[in-house]
Amino acid sequence: MIVMKFGGTSVQDAKAIDRVAHIVQGRLADRPLVVVSAMAKVTDSLLAMGKAAGSGDRKTALKMARALRERHYDTAGELLGTALFTEFHGDLGADFEDLDELLRGIGAVGEITPRTYDYVASFGEVLSSKIVAAAFVARELPGAHVDSRQCLLTDNSYTRAVPQVEETSERLRRRVQPLVDAGKVPVMGGFIGSNAAGITTTIGRGGSDFSAAIFGAALNAQRIEIWTDVDGMMTTDPRLCPDARRIKTISFDEAAELAYFGAKVLHPATVLPAIQKNIPVYVLNSQNPTCEGTKITARAPRTRNIFKAIAAKKRITIIDVAAPRMLLAHGFLKAIFDAFDRHGVVVDVVSTSEVSVSLTVDSNEAIPELAADLAKLADVKYEGRKAIVCLVGENLRDTPGIAAKVFGILEDMKIRMISQGASEINLTFVIEEDDAAEVVRRLHQAFFAEADPEVFG
């Protein structure tokens, strides 16, 4: 069997869901389990309703719920046609009655707790999974809706509940496997689960990929397909460099290095349960289903190209902390990092010498206060408008002379910090923000002009 997960944009309206049905139809022989996100933007609007109700604004909350109801009714009506929709209408209607009642309750109390936020948010996936299952049936696909809350057991940390993988796997084998065996296509919402007391939980924003990976790992899927609205992961940002190519296959470790650079496609950490079981994960485009996408595997095949991708991130600030007599003093680095911690500022690249430490952070308002705090320990300077460039590839590990080649290409550029990650598969450095596009283009030209056709599209 396989798991096919469709994100919010892939189920955003009737046309998109119709495309999903076609894509699934074409995979029936692989015995798919389908996991869906809420329709695009629905989770955001549910959370906004909860917030409005929680601040006592019941009217706004109910008005938003009405708009949501219409959107789902319109979509279902368009997908099902009048006769089927009339039959299905009551089921959806009951959910919307529950949502209204919930919002009234929250409004009456004038307060919303994380537990209640989860209940409100869960409607998105509950509704989308029911509509997609019904649309399948209307198209003579053997869709069978399964309420994920009866399968995905989590702990009690509402809004970021932690899946209990063993019991969840057991339940999936008991309830979902027989459906697959009987030739049905189970349709389940991602993101939602319930705790041991049966109370609805969610596993964190963007959690549907994680649900798909857990389900696939539990049922020993042959592969997991993450259907989204881009062709997969790219060698670099096509907006910076029009020559960017699609990466056909990438290792989990390489994908993880790129995650920080806003590879919004998918956060690799969420598919770890699948990778750990050696199940390949594909990123595919529901608007361009014949494109092969990107395959993420535990180990990437050997390739001639040293790098898989070049990522760049702008809006970076460098903070230099210099203390000629203090750096070697025991506890000094700890004191620096404690200051970052106190201000809630996340550090990305770090490089140190005997007398100074340079760190990068995403530019943000907390920096002046943080710098003032650091100034109690040492001399501090900070400078914005920098960019981080990161070259990623497993071949970096055992190819000599790479740094010379990279920096040779950039010999006229001002390089501010250099760091080769402990993972040995990334080479990272910091440059002036205004140079970012030029640097990426030059490196891309040097390292991808001759791209291995096995690995790059």
Examine residue 200 and tell whether it contacts ligand ASP (CB under 6 A). no
Select 203 or 392, whichever has its Cβ closest to ligand ASP.
Answer: 203
* The two three-digit tokens of residue 253, written as one number: 């470790």
| Cβ–Cβ < 8 Å for 262, 273 | no
Task: Kindly write down the DSSP assignment for every residue of 388-437, as one continuous string.
Answer: EEEEE-GGGGG-TTHHHHHHHHTTTS-EEEEEE-TTSSEEEEEEEGGGHH
Contact between 206 and Mg ion per CB under 5 A: yes
Compute and round to an integer the Cα radius of gyration of the chain: 25
Is 229 among the residues that bind Mg ion (CB under 5 A)? Answer: no
Residue 124 engages ligand ASP in binding (rule: CB under 6 A):
yes
Q: Which amino acid is at 337?
A: F
State both tokens at 178: 């027989």
What's the min distance (Å) between Cβ of 28 and ligand ASP?
25
Nearer to ligand ASP, 212 or 316 (CB): 212
Task: Tell me which stretch binds ligand ASP (CB under 6 A): 25-33, 74-82, 83-91, 202-210.
Answer: 202-210
56 contributes a contact to Mg ion by CB under 5 A: no
83 vs 88: CA distance, rounded Å: 9
Q: Do residues 64 and 47 lie in contact, with contact meaning Cβ atoms separated by under 8 Å?
A: no
The residue among 75, 32, 60 whose CA lies nearest residue 221 is 32
Residue 90: CB minimum distance to ligand ASP, A: 25
Residue pair 296/237 in contact (Cβ under 8 Å)? The answer is no
CB of 404 to ligand ASP, least distance (A): 43
Instruction: Give the nearer residue to ligand ASP in terms of CB position, either 157 or 363.
Output: 157
Indicate whether 114 belongs to the interface with ligand ASP (CB under 6 A).
Answer: no
Cβ-based neighbours of 19, under 8 Å, separated by 6 or more: 10, 286, 287, 289
Site residues for ligand ASP, window 27-56 (CB under 6 A)?
37-38, 43
Q: Hey, which bits of 205-280 come out as E strands?
A: 223-228, 249-251
Binding partner selected for residue 270 from Mg ion, ligand ASP, none, CB under the kind-specific 5 to 8 Å limit = none
**Separation CA 377–CA 385 (nearest Å):** 25
CB-based contacts of 266: which residues, under 8 Å, 6+ apart? 209, 226, 228, 283
Q: Which is nearer to ligand ASP, 19 or 31 (CB)?
A: 19
* DSSP H or E stretch at residue 339: helix 332-342
Residue 6 phi/psi, 5° resolution? -110, 125
- List the Cα angle 83/10/151 in 5-degree steps: 80
Report d(CA 94, CA 84) in Å as an integer. 17
Count of residues that interact with ligand ASP, criterion CB under 6 A: 12
* 186 belongs to the binding site for ligand ASP (CB under 6 A): no
Nearest distance in Å: CB 375, ligand ASP: 40
| Residue 131 Cβ vs ligand ASP, minimum distance, rounded to whole Å | 14
* Contacts to ligand ASP from residues 207-226, by CB under 6 A: 207-208
> Shortest distance, CB of residue 411 to ligand ASP, whole angstroms?
44
Choose which of 66, 205, 299, 302 interacts with ligand ASP (CB under 6 A).
205
Q: Which stretch binds Mg ion (CB under 5 A): 2-10, 302-310, 364-372, 433-441?
A: 2-10
CB of 270 to ligand ASP, least distance (A): 9
285 contacts ligand ASP (rule: CB under 6 A):
no
Q: Which residues bind ligand ASP (CB under 6 A)?
A: 7-8, 37-38, 43, 124, 190-191, 205-208
* Interface residues toward Mg ion, by CB under 5 A: 7, 206
